Amino acid sequence: MLSLPYQLEAAIEGVLHNVPASKWKSAAKALSERYRTSRTGKESSLARGFDEALGYAAIILPAAYAQLSGAMAAVQRRVPGWQPLSMLDIGSGPGTALWAATEQWSTLQKLTAWEREPAFIELGRQLAQASARQALTATNWQRVTLDKKLVDGQQMANTIEKQLAGRVESYDLIVFGHVLNELPETLRKDIVALAWQRCSGVLLIVEPGTSAAFPIVKAMRDSLLDLDARTLAPCPHDRPCPLLDDWCHFPQRLERPAFQRRAKEASAGWEESKFSYAAMARFPADAAIWGRLIHQPHKQKNMVSLTVSSTDGIVEVQIPKKQREAFRQASDYDWGEVLQSRLESMK
């Protein structure tokens, strides 16, 4: 069970307390409806203005934090010795990924946030000041619009820096959190390629775990493979995804903060937030793996069935109860768990 950092939770509660609840609650409900609707990238920003930014913080930020944290934890398990120093958060919103990353990697010292909406930048700065982490409070917030002008301008800047024998600024960690689904399809590949030019370590893409968002993650992973990126997670290989008529997503359980329960008018103290992701790197993982569970184990009276994305493709493994130790072990597997070695199908 994951929970928000207490400093972040307290900071959001403090900001919400200063605004009539009717304002941010109505904004939160409207945002929740828009958030669940499939987006083509041609719509206006998900949130505009400070009231809508507060609504986002109240109802969407906790789930986004959980998803980003789940993906970052998967990266850390594949490269436990990696210690990033710098990070670029593209489409930062109120800085959700910055909080998640500094919780996962205490080595981060230099944080840069690109965000289009002034209200999100204002809110992000307010929230960051509540952190005890100096890297967060000193975040370099930049107002940036992800469009064709940015791509052309950055490409020109890269060329000039190289011609002048200057060093192109790079970042150990670059994150796209809930961003690419808001961009036009024609722009996504160029923005990701631009980010890869600036990435010296890991580029992480995280989207909601839906059938609409997964194809975006899948396509961007393919484009990064074409640029010689290496896959850290979730795939155990560097080949195109073999998944058909399904989508790859994973759960992260979150303890709901009180403000989110009020925004959702929910009685349950927790929720399971699902996400799709691709963690791509300039280097391979510390050790090879055979596969990863991409669904919850299906437990039957006399058998456990596992769906595994593996180096052998998508494999359905069935383990009968008569194989007592293997059956017990398979019954205890978690959705998303890494399998180091091949499991033989017992069909």
Last residue within a domain, chosen from 242, 263, 281: 281
Residue 345 placed within a domain: no
Distance of alpha carbon 283 from alpha carbon 342, whole angstroms = 24
Looking at residue 116, which CATH number applies to its domain?
3.40.50.150
Please state the rounded mean pLDDT for residues 314-322: 91
Shared-domain flag, residues 95 and 243: yes
Query: Is 103 within the bounds of a domain?
Result: yes
Q: How does residue 153 score in pLDDT terms, banded at 50, 70 and 90?
A: confident
Is residue 27 helix, strand or coil? Answer: helix
Same domain, residue pair 113 and 202? yes
Q: Outline where 37-117 has alpha helix (H).
A: 50-59, 61-78, 96-104
**Does the residue 347 lie in any domain?**
no
In the chain, how many domains are there?
2
The answer on pLDDT for 8 being more than 80 is yes
pLDDT for residue 163: 61
Determine the pLDDT at residue 45. 60
Q: What is the band of 159 on the pLDDT scale with cuts at 50, 70, 90?
A: low
Cα radius of gyration (the chain): 21
Q: How far apart are CA 84 and CA 109, in angstroms?
A: 8
- 347 pLDDT band, cuts 50/70/90, is very low
CA 308 to chain CA centroid, nearest Å: 21
Q: Supply the pLDDT for residue 334.
A: 93
Helix (H) or strand (E) holding 251: strand 250-255
For 195-252, the pLDDT digits (tens) are: 999 999 999 999 999 999 999 999 999 999 999 999 999 999 999 998 988 999 999 9
Please calculate the CA angle 130-132-135 and round it to the nearest 5 degrees. Answer: 100
* Residue range 97-101: mean pLDDT, rounded: 98
pLDDT, tens only, 23-81: 777 777 777 676 666 655 554 566 677 888 988 898 889 999 999 999 999 999 999 99
Separation CA 195–CA 89 (nearest Å) = 10
Of 262, 281, 300, which marks where a domain is finished? 281
Average pLDDT value over all residues in the chain: 89
Percent of all residues in the chain with a pLDDT value above 70, rounded to a whole number: 91
**Amino acid letter for position 4:** L
- Give me the pLDDT at residue 50, please: 84
Q: Within a domain: residue 185?
A: yes
Q: What angle do CA 92, 234, 95 make, to 5 degrees?
A: 10
Q: Does residue 95 belong to any structural domain of this protein?
A: yes
Beta-carbon neighbour count of residue 278 at 10 Å? 28
> Is residue 1 in a domain?
no
- Are 258 and 308 part of one and the same domain? no
Q: How confident is the model at residue 310, as a pLDDT?
A: 95
Segment among 189-198, 287-296, 307-316, 323-332 with least mean pLDDT: 323-332
User: Angle at Cα 120 formed by Cα 155 and Cα 212, nearest 5°?
Assistant: 70
* DSSP type of residue 94: T
Q: How many helices (H) and strands (E) does the chain have?
A: 12, 13
Structural domain for 326, as ranges: 291-339
For residues 77-94, give the mean pLDDT.
97
> What's the confidence (pLDDT) of residue 266?
74
